[in-house]
Chains A and B, each alone.
Chain A
């Protein structure tokens, strides 16, 4: 290797180390500020109830959706804590019981929220309907997907 390449390589390595150190700090602060949604347990454990818009994510509890007109009442759970949600409007296709959802709105108390927006969360499982039915029938569903 000639000396010019060596010099540039050293320069690159030094700047890489500097960037990595700076990046480490940026990443740490990002990790705190880029929370897209909180879980019901996060809320339960928080010392004060946050004001203003907040996003809560979890699973829509089975048999919890009550619908009248375009008014929805349902419960978001993370299997430890729950939060009941009121919402009026149109729901996304994938918003069904037993699936993940994120609701955005204002807290009325520590365990209830009035949502202005609901977003359905899709998980990483893709399969045809027959396979899903067969899995549910044989009881392997719970083992594989924990629902």
Chain B
């Protein structure tokens, strides 16, 4: 099972295509930033503050999606003991952690002028902080526990416990009264954002995604080679 997901395939992909992923990241980022900062219009209410959204929203999406990837890989690690998935989960964790920090930081920079406060304990903000804490615990457990087999089990369990937090973050704005606004881009209904503002948002998301792939490929290669060396000792 999962034979096609050989860790060598990932390393080969790194060696052959990393350059192209880097090129697409840079072009998406430059293109996205120019549209987000200069071409796209100011919001009718917020004015230029809306431009923070083009960093905040893609970072928040990726923080959640990467956590989901990490949890699925942890599940496979626990049940099927497939090593590749352990390395994937370990490699993506710091990327998601960084994006969750960016999300909190840009959120409070936006919140100060718009809401009138940097931070408030509403359900969305609190559950997002809990996500950051889960990332920290996950990464720290890999560092602290030196026995690989124990670390692999512990981190996977931690990540699966934290998975319960994801729907809470996503739906907190619908379930409870929160200061944070509900989702603008919905899968089932039409979005409440003007197309001229949706374009830079999508471009920025794609560029952040490409960045995640770059960091993932580099980290995956490093982690899997490290494991190979340890095995041969």
Contacts and interface: CB of A to CB of B under 8 A. Distances in A.
Contacts of A121: 115, 179, 181
14 contacts: A5-B79, A34-B123, A36-B120, A37-B177, A94-B45, A117-B116, A119-B120, A122-B46, A126-B53, A128-B42, A128-B44, A131-B44, A131-B194, A132-B45
A39 B176 CA distance: 12
B27 interface: no
A129 B45 CA distance: 8
A49 to B, nearest CB: 20
B131 to A, nearest CB: 16
Given A99-B45, A126-B197, A36 B53 contact: no
Contact of B176 (A35, A124, A127): A35
A95 B45 CA distance: 10
A121 B117 CA distance: 11
A126 B116 contact: no
Contacts of B45: 94, 96, 99, 122, 132
Interface in A101-118: 102, 117-118
A126 B79 contact: no
Contacts of A90: 116
Chain A interface category by residue count: 35 or more
Interface in B183-233: 183-184, 192-194, 196-197
A127 to B, nearest CB: 4
A53 interface: no
A5 B115 CA distance: 51
Given A37-B177, A119-B120, A23 B79 contact: no
B123 A12 contact: no
A9 interface: yes
Interface in B104-126: 113-117, 120-123
A127 B78 contact: no
A40 interface: no
Contacts of A9: 79
Given A126-B43, A128-B196, A119 B78 contact: no
Most buried by B among A91, A92, A119, A124: A124
Interface of B: 41-47, 49-50, 53, 75, 78-80, 113-117, 120-123, 164, 175-179, 181-184, 192-194, 196-197
Given A36-B122, A125-B192, A129-B42, 7 more contacts: A36-B123, A94-B114, A122-B114, A125-B184, A128-B44, A128-B197, A131-B44
Contact of A31 (B120, B175, B181): B175
Contacts of B50: 126
Nearest to A8: B79
B48 to A, nearest CB: 11
A118 B115 CA distance: 8
B176 A128 contact: no
Most buried by B among A38, A118, A121: A121
Contact of A128 (B122, B192, B194): B194
A120 to B, nearest CB: 6
B44 A129 contact: yes
Contacts of A17: none
Contact of A36 (B41, B49, B179, B182): B179
